[in-house]
Structure 1
Amino acid sequence: MNGRTRPRPRRLAVLVGAALLLSACSAGSLGSSSDSGGGETLDFLIGNDESAVALGEALVEAFNATNQGVTVTLETRPGGSEGDNVVKTRLATGDMADVFQYNSGSLFQALTPQQQLTPLTGEGWVSTLQDDFRSSVSAGGEVYGAPWGASLGGGVLYNKPVYERLGLSVPTTWAEFMANSAAIKAAGIDPVVQTYGETWTSQLLVLADFHNVAAAEPGFAEQYTAGRVKYATSAPAIKGFQHLQEVHEAGYQNVDFASAELEDGLRKVATGEGAQYPMLTSTVIQMVANNPESAQDVGFFALPGDDAATNGATQWLPAGIYVPQTTTGAKLEAAKTFLNWVTGPDGCEVARTAVPPTGPFATAGCELPADVPAAVADFAGYVDDGRTSPALEFLSPVKGPALEQITVEVGSGIRSAQDGAALYDDDVRKQAQQLGLPGWD
């Protein structure tokens, strides 16, 4: 979840346990192998969240064992805005690590890659990249990043035994979703789990709806970035806010929706206390760890829109691994050797086993293990079928900081969908002006 879904307090998070931080890992060395054979030593800067550290340590240990004349050492940085500032400051001062991991999509674009990063377009592995990921790490016709970890999906986790017992089918339209919810409520089960005790979780009915927005209004992301379309006045975009209002007014939420937290929501859908939970597939790792039976009992479906013919899922793309322009000469060749290994079969095998994948990988030939949880396999099916769209944050730098508070209000009946969308448009306008984007006067 990585784009703007990087680990951040009360923000959409894409990694294990919805942005658990490994507090013991401050910026500095992580005890990597020493350079015992001469050659080049590369510093590799990664985020300090638990999943990133686990993946980074596994990749570095396996790569260093290959004895390719290159030794990689790990360094960590904080997450959130503090981590953003570390990356931008180190790039601006010429003090960036030889290789670093950072977001793809709009936050990657904010690094002014053509001025600060090394193009990698000519590397052989670039041809194996998934098209959406390649676009998310490209600028000016050049590719700048290799994929870091797996993607994830935003949609609905659902309890399969409940669906089977009630004779329900996976919905492909919002009307079908609401009809299923009515049948679930009649059976005495919470139809739509909500967990506003952790406010970031309230955003899913809006953010995971972007595939439907893009299908109905293909140029939305560009027009939105330019300030020419708004949530409150775009018929497709306001749907997510309307869905929040409709679910609340129908009485389909769990009674403790205002105080329940992520772990509560995962437990409810895992045990069948709740039937449907709008959520990210990244949280499946935590759910299965606490409720092992949910590995096969909980599936995933895309958040339905109005048109079954365009049904598909919103995808959060992997982060990228980049090489700054300050890495030159033999260091640059060593960095390319490392990235070639990471994107090859050996790097794939490490990534598949070091951290449970939350969705498909971005390189062709790097397949998911056969035993992934059902929800992850379900999401992968959408990707395989070409029925996904990148989340808006990979296409536009504009995302107002107050969205999670606004979605809580709409989903709690405090504010109408129309008022919530208009308030969010105002929040977005302020953020776009701070970014200096044209069209937002």
Structure 2
Amino acid sequence: MTFRPRMRGLAVVAAGSLALTACSAGSLGSSDDAGGAASVSITYLAGNLEQDVKEANQLIKDFTAKNPTVTVKLETRPGGSEGDNIVKTRLSTGDMSDVFAYNTGSLFQAIAPEKNLTPISDQPYIGDLDENFKKTVTAGDKVYGVPSGGFMGGAVLYSIPVYTRLGLKVPATWAEFMANNAKIKAAGIAPVIQTYGETWTSQLFVLGDFHNVAAVEPDFADRYTKNQAKYATSPAALKGFEHTQQVHDSGYENKDFASAKLPDGLRMLAQGKGAHYPILTGVVNDMVSTYPNAAKDVGLFALPGDDASKNGLTVWTPGGVYIPNTTTGEKLDAAKKFLAFIASPDGCKSLATTGVPTGPYAVKGCELPADVPQSIKDMQPYLDKSGGSSLALEFVSPVKGPSLEQITVEVGSGIQKAKDGAARYDEDVKKQAQQLGLAGW
């Protein structure tokens, strides 16, 4: 797996050592560089997963090539709750790195940005940032972070050869999706791949359906945060649980759904042994590196709802890169230059050299490489269309319970019904909401 810690709302992230590790440094400038300009050194804290380190090192290399008087030293931290605690502790003690990578959305709000971070709203590139992304790194009326990487889609990856052979069309409604599943099952192919051996993968029919929820109830996130809306009592929100149950009850899952894991699901899809895999596009890099044919054989469509005219994609924004307010003087100037590089077409190109993008970039002027996999290309029309995409709920509400993946496994395995699962999840979120001190809980 190559999910970043910043994507931990859905991903199970490998935890590493609590110790911070210095991994690399950009080229050191000298007094002879840039016509005698003095050099400055800054530190950059990023996740310790292999892809995180690879991306961070590439950014540092390409940035320092253009800014030879700046040295960037990389530090790493583990993901998951350990990494969260390190970030919060270092911010509270005034010991944070000069620049650091972290989550956007609700987890960004949890690090008290107005108290701990340096706003960058006055930087000239802010107008080039995608509006959806800016919402996830804004506190009050100020922007605090830049995107590192591309959007992810919570969608359905599908086998193009299977669709071609059976003469199927990409569905825009749930009824069309289920009709396709019936034809696929009749052909002896598993219609919907599920990999409950890794429980986080069970959540997509619920979390990836939020665009459809927001299309019917535009104020759901606000009311949900205020404890005025529930999954069990909102017909639109309940559908994600109902769809999870329907796929199971119809016998559309692969036979080994209970024990299969992510690599099994990717293999089935790439080999055409399964037709649909509801998942995050962050898995595409791993799939294509293992099965190169998947670059052209696997496409993507948004989770369909009831109304084809409102069909659209639920997206997860890239992680953010921030400057703590303890970074001052010449280090602050260097840190701002580093963020400006990340939020530029050159920064996007730098990241693109490290692997398959998870989706379109959140910076104007950044284009996907020509050889990007078809499934990633398929995301772009949703993002280009007005009203064609919505942020996942975790980016517009801080309320998310820890047990959703266990609940969706039970619903998708026939252990409990959709309505009961939704009601259980409504109870699950209470503790977190109360810990956050949210009004109405």
TM-score range, shorter chain: over 0.9
> What is the CA distance between 1:373 and its match in structure 2?
0.6
* Contact 1:317-1:390 within 8 A present in 2 as well: yes
1:162 alignment partner in structure 2 = 162
Q: Provide the secondary structure at the position in 1 that maps to 2:278.
A: strand
Letter of the structure 2 residue corresponding to residue 90 of structure 1: R
1:286 alignment partner in structure 2 = 286
Q: Provide the secondary structure at the position in 2 that maps to 1:87.
A: helix
Q: Provide the secondary structure at the position in 2 that maps to 1:46.
A: strand
> What is the CA distance between 1:380 and its match in structure 2?
2.0
> What is the CA distance between 1:378 and its match in structure 2?
0.5
Corresponding position: 1:214 with 2:205: no
> What is the CA distance between 1:345 and its match in structure 2?
3.0
Q: Provide the secondary structure at the position in 2 that maps to 1:31.
A: strand
How far, CA to CA, are the matches of 2:92 and 2:17 in structure 1? Answer: 28
Give CA deviations for 1:381-400 in whole Å, capped at 9, x if unaligned.
21122411011111111111
* Contact 1:205-1:303 within 8 A present in 2 as well: yes
Worse-superposed segment, 326-335 or 275-284? 326-335
* Contact 1:2-1:319 within 8 A present in 2 as well: no
> What is the CA distance between 1:149 and its match in structure 2?
1.2
> What is the CA distance between 1:243 and its match in structure 2?
0.3
1:403 alignment partner in structure 2 = 404
Percent of residue pairs identical: 59
Letter of the structure 2 residue corresponding to residue 102 of structure 1: Y
TM-score normalized by the length of structure 1? 0.95
Gaps of 5+ in 2: 31-37
Flag the 1:406–1:4 CA change in 2: closer, same or farther, 3 A. Answer: farther
1:28 aligned to 21, 31, 43, which one?
Answer: 21
Letter of the structure 2 residue corresponding to residue 153 of structure 1: G
Letter of the structure 2 residue corresponding to residue 255 of structure 1: K
Worse-superposed segment, 329-338 or 158-167? 329-338
1:50 alignment partner in structure 2 = 50
> What is the CA distance between 1:346 and its match in structure 2?
2.2
How far, CA to CA, are the matches of 2:56 and 2:18 in structure 1? Answer: 12
The 5-angstrom pairing of residues 292-303 of structure 1 reads 292-303=292-303
1:244 alignment partner in structure 2 = 244
Give CA deviations for 1:294-333 in whole Å, capped at 9, x if unaligned.
1101100000001101000110100111111111122111
* Contact 2:247-2:253 within 8 A present in 1 as well: yes
How far, CA to CA, are the matches of 2:132 and 2:50 in structure 1? Answer: 26
> What is the CA distance between 1:33 and its match in structure 2?
3.4
Gaps of 5+ in 1: none
Corresponding position: 1:314 with 2:314: yes
Give CA deviations for 1:271-314 in whole Å, capped at 9, x if unaligned.
11111110111111111112111110110000000110100011
- Aligned-residue CA RMSD (Å): 1.9
Flag the 1:423–1:25 CA change in 2: closer, same or farther, 3 A. Answer: closer
2:34 alignment partner in structure 1 = none
> What is the CA distance between 1:66 and its match in structure 2?
2.3
> What is the CA distance between 1:352 and its match in structure 2?
1.7
> What is the CA distance between 1:430 and its match in structure 2?
1.9
* Contact 2:153-2:359 within 8 A present in 1 as well: yes
> What is the CA distance between 1:434 and its match in structure 2?
2.0
* Contact 1:54-1:355 within 8 A present in 2 as well: no
Letter of the structure 1 residue corresponding to residue 129 of structure 2: L
> What is the CA distance between 1:344 and its match in structure 2?
2.2
How far, CA to CA, are the matches of 1:380 and 1:128 in structure 2? Answer: 17
Flag the 1:339–1:43 CA change in 2: closer, same or farther, 3 A. Answer: same
* Contact 2:177-2:304 within 8 A present in 1 as well: yes
Flag the 1:301–1:253 CA change in 2: closer, same or farther, 3 A. Answer: same
Letter of the structure 1 residue corresponding to residue 424 of structure 2: L
How far, CA to CA, are the matches of 1:338 and 1:152 in structure 2? Answer: 24
How far, CA to CA, are the matches of 2:315 and 2:123 in structure 1? Answer: 26
TM-score normalized by the length of structure 2? 0.95
Give CA deviations for 1:134-179 in whole Å, capped at 9, x if unaligned.
1111111111101111111011010011111111100000000001
* Contact 1:103-1:319 within 8 A present in 2 as well: yes
How far, CA to CA, are the matches of 2:139 and 2:429 in structure 1? Answer: 24
Letter of the structure 1 residue corresponding to residue 411 of structure 2: V
How far, CA to CA, are the matches of 1:197 and 1:364 in structure 2? Answer: 39
> What is the CA distance between 1:401 and its match in structure 2?
0.6
Flag the 1:316–1:367 CA change in 2: closer, same or farther, 3 A. Answer: same
* Contact 2:345-2:366 within 8 A present in 1 as well: yes
How far, CA to CA, are the matches of 2:422 and 2:18 in structure 1? Answer: 39
> What is the CA distance between 1:3 and its match in structure 2?
12
Give CA deviations for 1:79-120 in whole Å, capped at 9, x if unaligned.
011111111111111111111111111111111111111110
2:33 alignment partner in structure 1 = none
Letter of the structure 2 residue corresponding to residue 12 of structure 1: L
Task: Say how many residue pairs are matched.
Answer: 433
How far, CA to CA, are the matches of 1:5 and 1:404 in structure 2? Answer: 17
How far, CA to CA, are the matches of 1:384 and 1:68 in structure 2? Answer: 37
